[in-house]
Structures are given as C-alpha cells and as structure tokens.
Chains A and B, each alone.
Chain A
C-alpha cells in the first residue's frame, strides 16, 4: 500500500515538474543570430534576403505541421498535391511578409530569458524584445517541438497572441466561405503576397 502511495506521489511530482531545455533555447538563439547577420545587417538585395530567410525558416521550423494545423478541419479532406501547393504558398507568404519586417528593423533586441517543458510536451522558450522608445518590452514565447532529438519551431506567441492560431482562424474562415475550396485560399494568399501594401 505504502509502495503504491510513493509510486503515485512520484508520478504526480514527475508530471507536474517543468524543466528548462537548453537545446530549444539554442535553436531560437541561432535563428535570431542568423536573421540578424544574414538579413538585417546584410547589404544583399531584398530577393536574396528572402531566399536566405526561407533557408533559415525551413531549416528551423516544422512547416508541414503548421500548414496542417492552420487548415483546421479542412486538412482532413485535402489531397496530397493540394496540400504541398498550400504549404509552399504559406511558407512563401510568411517569408515575404517577415523579410519586409526585418528590413524595417529599428534597433529591436531579443533576449532569451528561460525555457520550460513538461515531460512529453513541447518546449516553451520565453524571451523579450526591447523596442526603442516604447514603454514596455514585448513578451515573445517560442513553442518548440522535439522529435527524436530534433528541435523544430511550431508557433510564436507574441504578447499572448499565437501566430498559428491566428492563421488557423483566418484561413478556415476563408475556406468556410468558399465551401472548402483550397484554390481560393491559395489564390488569396498569393495575391496578398504579390501586391503587399506595407506600412510606412
């Protein structure tokens, strides 16, 4: 009886324990360093910057998982070829949008504070971005999955806003309005990416 009690107690303690994860922290730090040296501070053309960022993004992110998640319930009915087309369009859209943001860099600095992971779950890497001339730092949490010792980014949560959740809500709403037609979503994503109206 006593044994069972201790087993149960250790299970409770074990499952509630949160660990730091240095590998996930390294992934994010490496990603931030690469973006800074190869894109922000580099003097190459915007097209070359996009290519560099695509390499960094595909190398450190599970793009397939993100693409599937953002399609919500519609991911169950999409065929393989359409899914690959959608995934590539999504990655292209993210790359172009974010490269433009990196180009208009205004002295922001990223500091990794800590990380936490419950057993069997994804790692959450906590960081802050200091933006000059603003009152408060921005809290950014990086969600990193670990599979067979390989770490991949799966979500970014900025001040409580999950990027993939936002994409999912938006894209499933477009699909809902178009009877699940993936071509409509791909065309819309392409048109937004090709004719961006960026802020000053």
Chain B
C-alpha cells in the first residue's frame, strides 16, 4: 500500500504538476483555478473522452433508442429512490433533520404508492429535497474541497468528493449489501442497478449537454471544470444552510474591475 502511494506520488510529481506562474496576475488566475494537477487532469480527461465516445455513447444511444422519454424519466426516478436511504444517512450526519424526515417520507411514499420508486408521487405532493452525499457531509463538517481532480471513467471531482464517493460506497445502507450477499433476486437486481444501470440512466440524461459543451467550447476541459465547480458549490452551499440571498452573493462578483471607468 505504501509502495503504491509513493509510485502514485511520483507519477503526479513527474507528469502532473502545472508550472506555477511568476507574473502576479497570472498567479492570481492560477490560484483561482485551483488546478495544480492540470497537465495530468487534461490527460485523464482526454482518456475519459475516448472512453465516453467508444463505450458509453453507443450504450447510451442504444438505451435511448429503445425507451421513450417518459420511461427514461421513470427509470431516473427509480434510481433516485434507491439512493434515497443514502441521502437520509447523510442528512442525519449533517444534522439536517428536516431533510432527513422529508427523504424518509419520499422513500416511503415512492417505494409504495410510487410503485418501487418508478413514479415520484412525493414530488407531486410537494415533498422535494436534493440529492445528498458524503462529500457534502465532509464540506458541512468543514473539510476543504482540495484541488480539482479528474477521475478516470468518472470525470470532474476534487479531493474531498473522491473521499466522499468512496465513503458513500461503504456507508450505503447495509440492507442492500445483505440482499446482494445473500444472492437473492432483489439483491442481484440492486447490485446491478448500482454498478451498471444508475450510471447509464444518469449519463443518458447528460448526453445532449456533453455534445453541447463539445460543440460550443473553445476549451471543453476548462468549461467542464468551471461548470462542475460552480454546480457543486451551489449544492454544497445549500447543504451548509447558506441562504438563497447569501448564495446569490457568489454570483455578484465585481464585473467592473476590468472596466475603464
């Protein structure tokens, strides 16, 4: 394990670190980007693009061609419902009991009246919450996000969220594991859902967005970095209980500082 750590550190130091600019303004931009591993991240991003093009895209197109928009929406509901116990655990860890109770209600209603979660009846009843994960829990506990990272096959992230994703896998409700290890039908179905189905269902939804970013961006890597970071910041701020008005202040950056008045 120690050996692996040193090998990985060596690779990052040899191939992965961006040159720190000496010009003060360029250095400010470098700090703001928070991407010291940019050369390595760009390589992983290029690899992910190839994997997306030749593996995920044909599967996604195939899935899209045999399903209707309404069916795909139902599958997404199902996937979100199966993940809801994880949201409840993280809501509780963040001491957000209001959302924990909402998610308990959502899971109960959608798993029963909503036919195993295929129909989001709870939303129609006005019970809505956001997805939650251990990355957000770490943020609420005060863990800084760390530098930007591109994870092979998974895409944009950061050190804190990588740790969060790993932890989510282990804290995922033990009931699912029990079913999976017992080799019962439901357990096998759930394990397939977790490993193959959920990523496909969520990927399909974003296929057009990926095309759009690629076709309109001068530098898709930078665009995806900006998009993912801003989206995540909004979501983390919400988990931290930052009010809408306070959250809005993050968009209220000074647009006049570059202007000649």
B252 touches A121 (CB 8 A): yes
> Which A111-139 residues have a C-beta within 8 angstroms of B?
116, 121-122, 124, 132-136
**Which chain B positions have C-beta within 8 A of A29?**
none
B233 at the interface (CB under 8 A from A): yes
Given the known A-B contacts A116-B245, A160-B231, A198-B215, are A133 and B251 also in contact in the complex, defined by CB atoms under 8 Å?
no
- Bound CA–CA A65/B253 (angstroms): 13
B29 touches A72 (CB 8 A): yes
**Which chain B positions have C-beta within 8 A of A157?**
251
Encode contact with A along B208-233: 1 for CB under 8 Å, 0 otherwise.
Answer: 10011011111100110111001101
**Which chain B positions have C-beta within 8 A of A136?**
128
Given the known A-B contacts A73-B258, A135-B123, A198-B215, are A172 and B76 also in contact in the complex, defined by CB atoms under 8 Å?
no
**Which chain B positions have C-beta within 8 A of A109?**
none
B222 touches A173 (CB 8 A): yes
**Which chain A positions have C-beta within 8 A of B28?**
73
Q: How many positions in chain B have a CB within 8 Å of any CB in the partner chain?
A: 45
Taking the closest CB of chain B, its distance from the CB of A32, in whole angstroms, is 20
Most buried by A among B77, B205, B215, B234: B215
Chain B residue at minimal CB-CB distance from A62: B255
**Which chain A positions have C-beta within 8 A of B255?**
65, 69, 154-155, 164
Q: How many positions in chain A have a CB within 8 Å of any CB in the partner chain?
A: 47
A133 touches B70 (CB 8 A): yes
B251 touches A155 (CB 8 A): yes
**Which chain B positions have C-beta within 8 A of A18?**
245
**Which chain A positions have C-beta within 8 A of B73?**
133-135
Taking the closest CB of chain B, its distance from the CB of A5, in whole angstroms, is 26
B226 touches A169 (CB 8 A): yes
Among candidates B80, B214, B227, B245, residue contacting A166 with C-beta atoms closer than 8 Å: B227
Interface SS majority for chain B:
helix
Taking the closest CB of chain B, its distance from the CB of A116, in whole angstroms, is 7
Taking the closest CB of chain B, its distance from the CB of A25, in whole angstroms, is 16
- Bound CA–CA A97/B223 (angstroms): 16
Given the known A-B contacts A157-B251, A161-B231, A165-B226, are A170 and B219 also in contact in the complex, defined by CB atoms under 8 Å?
yes
Stretch at the interface among A7-15, A47-55, A189-197: A189-197
- Bound CA–CA A199/B209 (angstroms): 9
B25 at the interface (CB under 8 A from A): yes
> Which B71-130 residues have a C-beta within 8 angstroms of A?
72-73, 76-77, 80, 120, 123, 128
Please name the 6 residue pairs, one residue from A and one from B, whose CB atoms are nearest each other, closest first. Answer: A160-B234, A199-B211, A133-B69, A73-B25, A169-B226, A75-B258
5 of the cross-chain contacts (CB-CB < 8 Å) are A65-B256, A68-B259, A75-B259, A155-B255, A188-B218
Chain A residues within CB distance 8 Å of chain B: 18, 65, 68-69, 71-73, 75-76, 97, 116, 121-122, 124, 132-136, 141, 143, 154-155, 157, 159-162, 164-166, 169-174, 176, 185, 188-189, 192, 196-200
